Every structure is written in structure tokens, then in C-alpha cells.
Amino acid sequence: MADIPVFDSHVHVFPDAIAARVTAQLGADGGVTPVYDGSRAGLEACMRRSGVTGALNCPIATRPEQTRSINDWAAANNRWPMPCLGTVHPDLPDAADEVRRVHALGLHGLKLHPEYQAFNPEEARLEPIWAVCEELGFPVVIHAGADIAFVPPFRSSPAGFRRLLGRYPRLRLVAAHFGGWRMWEEVDRELAGMPLWLDLAFVFGEIPDERLTALIRRHGVDRILFGSDAPWRDPAADLAALRRLPLKAHERERILWRNAADLFRIPELCVGRISGQA
């Protein structure tokens, strides 16, 4: 059948030497059973059985001194079907320089996590990072809202992202977990229709299908990305859930591939977009 290709904009892979240990530990911390062992080979096998064509790895530096080695590893592993983002810890003294290095290494954007990296997006120490990403047109994927591995109060919110966009209007911001996990009323009020991208990681089953479909359209189907958060979620199940939503075929195609092709500079996404239209 002429199924369109699928790009998963939110997955996690770790270096082989630590993948199994880290994945088991993080899974236990979050109370979730990983669907693969956190390795690249594990991800690629998961993609094959799930019908996922390509997947964006989103690494996170939880300590400033890890930042460069994680980015070096990401750059060495940045090849289809697993293009990679880089990361930066906000307490790295020359964080903006490292963002420029991540960009120059050919990584496809930056991943940040307010909980694991202990920052509020509106803090002054984040300003150099936002400024350089805006200047470079470099996409930033940020964890948004609650997190299964942490307790409230959470450090990011839909209202905060709205204020941030007011200060950095050209920032290419992807707020993961639909703009604020388990903050759906606030997402609807503060972010729907704003010029940022929302991914669908950990969203299915949290919002009733009809309301989710309405929210997707209210925000604008051009700025919604399919993302699973694998290995913490099963991309096959999320893909089936997306296909159950009463969306039109062209809307699904945007969410599953074309929006990512427009946002991230990944050559294979542009090629796939053309063949996906056949």
C-alpha cells in the first residue's frame, strides 16, 4: 500500500557502552518499561518493527562537563536513519560557543530539558543560548511541562513558552509533549496557534482523541510533529493511535513527515518527502 513514510522526531539513544545500564535506570526512575535497550541497534530494530522510517535522537547533558563529549558522540552517530540533535548544559561557561560548535558539527538542532538540567526557560543564564539559536535559525527541542521522573513544581509551562517567544520571536522552538505535559488547559489557552512546534510524545491516551484532534487543528496542523519518546513509549502504539485520529490524509502526512522536513535541515527528509508523495 502507498503508505507515507514516518519520521519520529523524538527518540533517545545512548552510547553502546552505557546504553543498557542507563536505560534500565531511567526506566525504573520513571516507572516505565523501555521498548528497546537504549542502543542504536535497538532503536533501528524497533523502527523496523514499528514502521518508522527515520528518527531524531535527542540527547541531554545532565552535567555541564558532559556536554562536549555527548555532542562529539552525537556528531559521530549523526547519520540516517538516526539523525541527531546536540545538547548544551546551561551552566557550561561558554554555552553559546558550544551551540555554535553543535551547529558547525552538522547536528540538526539542540535538545534541552528544564527538569534534568534544572533551569527555567525564562532565566537570565539561558539568554545566550536562545539568542544564538535564534540568530542561527537552529531548532531547539525542549521538554515541556510535567515529567514522569520528577515531582512538581515543574520548571517550564505553556505560559512561560509564550513569554519566551515574545522575547525571541524568530526562535524555532519545539515544545515536546504537546507544549506542556499534563497542562492541557494551559496549552489550549496560551499556546494554541502560537508560532512554535508541538510534538506528540506521551500525549496519546492523555487527551481524549476528539479533543486532541481539535487541539491539533486549533494550533495548526503545520506545526505538529509525530514523536514517540522511545524507548519510553512504543512508537508502533503511538503510530496506531495517530492513525485512529479523525484527521485527513494530508494532515497526517504533515504530522508524520512534512513538518519535520520543513523544520529540520535533514537531506533524507526532503528526499523522502518527494517519494512519499508518489
List residues binding Zn ion (CB under 5 A): 229
Residue nearest to Zn ion according to CB distances in the complex: 229
For 215, 220, 238, the CA distances from 208, given in Å and listed in that order, are 11, 18, 14
Comparing CB distances to Zn ion, the nearer of 81 and 145 is 145
Q: How far is the CB of 202 from Zn ion (least distance, A)?
A: 8
What Rg value do the Cα atoms of the chain yield, rounded? Answer: 17
Comparing CB distances to Zn ion, the nearer of 113 and 252 is 113
Asked if residue 58 lies in contact with residue 64, where contact means CB atoms within 8 angstroms, the answer is no
Comparing CB distances to Zn ion, the nearer of 205 and 267 is 205
Comparing CB distances to Zn ion, the nearer of 103 and 177 is 177
Cell of residue 247, nine digits: 484527521
Name the residue among 160, 85, 99, 90 with its Cα closest to residue 135.
99
- 110: amino acid identity, one letter: L
Comparing CB distances to Zn ion, the nearer of 40 and 273 is 40
* DSSP 8-state assignment for residue 154: P
